[in-house]
Amino acid sequence: MTENIDPVAYNRAAWDREVENSNEWTRPAAPDVIAQARAGDWSVVLIGHEPVPRDWFPSALTDADVLCLASGGGQQGPVLSAAGATVTVLDNSPRQLDRDREVATREGLPLRTELGDMRDLSVFPDAGFDVVFNPVSNVFCPELEPVWRESFRVLRPGGILMAGFLNPDIFIFDVPALEEREELIVRHQLPFSSLDLPDDERQRTYGTGPIEYSHSLTGQIGGQLAAGFTLTHFVEAPHHADATARYMPGYFATRAVKP
């Protein structure tokens, strides 16, 4: 029964399974990618396959303290570490963190990993980071207010929060019709969670994948502002693997600063 599901525990196991199934966000950065990053030629993504503009980062990444928030998988964290940053990766999935440690060991990178829920950063002191880098992952988180509040707390004054997230309108569509026939059939009210579906339908539609939650733009952007951030940049992009890409943006990304 859905009322007995612990979303943190469920999604931890689900993302561990995604690693075993070689989900594209669980495949570690290749040696040539790390070598290029060491040479100053690097990029990372917040949304889909869109590289983050370099001017979103501090002008000098060397020795910047970066928290890759819910960003395991051996991709962004190792690249930023190879580019010179002091990187910590926090993720809810032990197997995703294994990917980061795999690359760090292979490449001799001084990467720190922490297992945890993105809503609880109590393992970190106040004002310990210059950047919080949060690619699309809060879709797996039941609530956003503590994510933005904790991100604000752990950043130094002038620190940067970069966040990628899904357009909530994606969730109004019937998933089987969208994925199997590329038909956009409006079915769900917002806010939506895959937990709203009957158990048998959720299993048919999402299989063993993680629980997903839509979040309003009020929760995403308004939540950052309410936490104290100043928004500096906003971009959108089509979903890289979804039929909605022909009609609407599927992803949003924000850059915000702690005053």
pLDDT in tens, 90-144: 999 999 999 999 999 999 999 999 999 999 999 999 999 999 999 999 999 999 9
d(CA 47, CA 23): 16
Structure tokens at 83: 């580019």
Q: What is the pLDDT of residues 13-28, one digit of tens each?
A: 999 999 999 999 999 9
Q: Give the contacts of 102 (CB within 8 A, at least 6 positions apart).
A: 28, 74
β strands within the chain, DSSP E: 45-47, 50-51, 65-69, 86-91, 112-115, 129-134, 155-166, 230-237, 251-257
32: exposed, middle or buried (C-beta count within 10 Å: 0-12, 13-18, 19+)? Answer: exposed
Please give the backbone phi and psi of residue 3, each rounded to the nearest 5 degrees, phi first. -65, -15
pTM of the model: 0.97
- Supply the pLDDT for residue 63: 86
Question: What is the distance, to the nearest Å, from the Cα of residue 144 to the centroid of all Cα atoms in its chain?
Answer: 12
Query: What are the tokens at 49?
Result: 């396959």
Percentages (nearest 5) of helix, strand, coil residues in the chain: 40, 20, 40
Contact 129, 57 (CB under 8 A): no
pLDDT computed for residue 4 by the predictor = 82
Q: Which of 227, 217, 223 is nearest to 159 (CA)?
A: 227
Q: What is the DSSP letter of 241?
A: T
Question: Tokens 């995703």 correspond to what residue?
Answer: 96
Please tell us whether the domain made up of 2-167+215-257 is placed in CATH 3.40.50.150. Answer: yes
Write the pLDDT tens digit of every residue in 42-51.
999 999 999 9
Q: Please report, as a single letter, which amino acid is at residue 12.
A: R
To which H or E segment does residue 175 belong?
helix 175-181
| pLDDT score recorded for residue 2 | 60
